[in-house]
Amino acid sequence: MKIAIISPNRNHLDEMSKLLEANSHVVILVDGGKSKMRLVAEQEQPDLMLVDGMCCDPNELALVEYVTTHHPKVAVILLCATQTPEFLINSMRAGVREVLPSPVTSSALEAAVNRMAAKLTGLQGRATGKVLAFMSCKGGSGATFLATNLGYQLAESRSVLLIDLDLQFGDALSYVNDGRPVSTLADVAHDISRLDASFLAASTVKVTPSFSILAAPDDVSKAMEVKAEHIDAILSLAVAHYDFVLLDVGRTLNTLVIRALDRAYRIYPILQAGLPYIRNANKLMAVFKSLGYPANKIELIVNRFEKTNEISISDMRRALGPVTLLTVPDAYKDVNTSINRGIPLVELSRTNPVSRNLADFALSLSPRQEEATSLLGRLFRRA
């Protein structure tokens, strides 16, 4: 792969060049600032451009956006010493694929370049397991309930791992189990050098023989130790050993979450039939579009939906555009009981409309041989 590195720091240029050339990449070194991006893109036409020395000034992203707009075949990775959430979001909107720290570690740089190489050459292998990500459009949407209870029902016929990526406030385990985790995602990240199938399995809580949950850290300070490269390593291992890997990603969009969403086979933003949810859903869809996600990767789930809602599916479609909308019916009393007792809803009532809905959803994702047709046309409706 042809890689151009732009940096005002000669040491950074030399260190990155040495690593990339050792991996057989063609490297072009440009000693200077981001103002040289346009010239490099036009004259060198690299496959990948690494731009070091970016800061948090959103005005600088106009230079990036020019390159990503006029040279769409050039992938851009920024190296930034200070990464604010606002800068990360604006970077995505400008067409940046990743934002790495500066100076960057050898392992992080190598992993990022390998991901770009795989995408550009079409060599990214299809994982054995499918990664499904559930993301709230607004607090209280029901994403954690749907992720945990779907996982429980999927596990009736498949092996399932749910990873709680809501690092600061995640409590997915409590929705289906009253135990406390011996290890959490932060513990796995801390001992990432030990990562193998046995270590991963031992770090989870087995809700059933086929359904395991890797809990979020119970200490916010430990959550800060979890990095995007840790998630990469865990997901790469998980999809080789589980049929489905479910991600409960909370509401925060950052480098770590985006790295996980990149790996997802499908992303399910969860909303309800209300204007605040719809506004946030539109913002999310704009971010996903800027990240280059194909339309069929995103399916919105309208939770607690009733035909008598003031805002109809037609209203939501007009507001959201040509998106796939799935619906889950309202059964507040039973769902609330399930959450408060920490028991999967299907164990309380298999005939509950939400239980039946999730059973059909699970069947659509993993159809049995004799029931492999028209599954989403039943209770889990495409509106």
d(CA 324, CA 317): 9
Domain ranges, ordered by start, for the chain: 2-121, 130-371
pLDDT at 55: 67
Which pLDDT band holds residue 121 (cuts at 50, 70, 90)?
low
Q: Check pLDDT > 80 for residue 376.
A: no
pLDDT at 10: 92
How big is the chain by its Cα radius of gyration, in Å? 22
Q: What is the CATH number of domain 2-121?
A: 3.40.50.2300
pLDDT at 122: 57
pLDDT at 370: 41
For range 31-57, the mean pLDDT:
86
pLDDT at 326: 96
DSSP 24-74: T-EEEEEES-GGGHHHHHHHH--SEEEEEEE-S-GGGHHHHHHHHHH-TTS
pLDDT at 371: 46
pLDDT at 173: 97
For range 5-16, the mean pLDDT:
93
pLDDT tens digits for 39-48?
A: 999 988 899 9
Q: What is the CATH number of domain 130-371?
A: 3.40.50.300
Half-sphere exposure of 33 (CA within 13 A, CB side): 6
Which two three-digit tokens encode residue 357?
Answer: 């809905």
- The more confident residue out of 327 and 93 is 327
pLDDT at 220: 85
Which pLDDT band holds residue 256 (cuts at 50, 70, 90)?
very high
Does 130-371 match 2-121 at the fold level?
yes
Element (H, E) at 79: strand 75-80
- Give the Å distances, CA to CA, from 46 to 39, 98, 249: 11, 16, 34
Q: Check pLDDT > 70 for residue 374.
A: no
pLDDT at 166: 95
Q: Are 130 and 243 in contact (CB under 8 A)?
A: yes
d(CA 146, CA 149): 5
pLDDT at 379: 46
pLDDT at 368: 59
Tell me which DSSP letter residue 216 carries: P
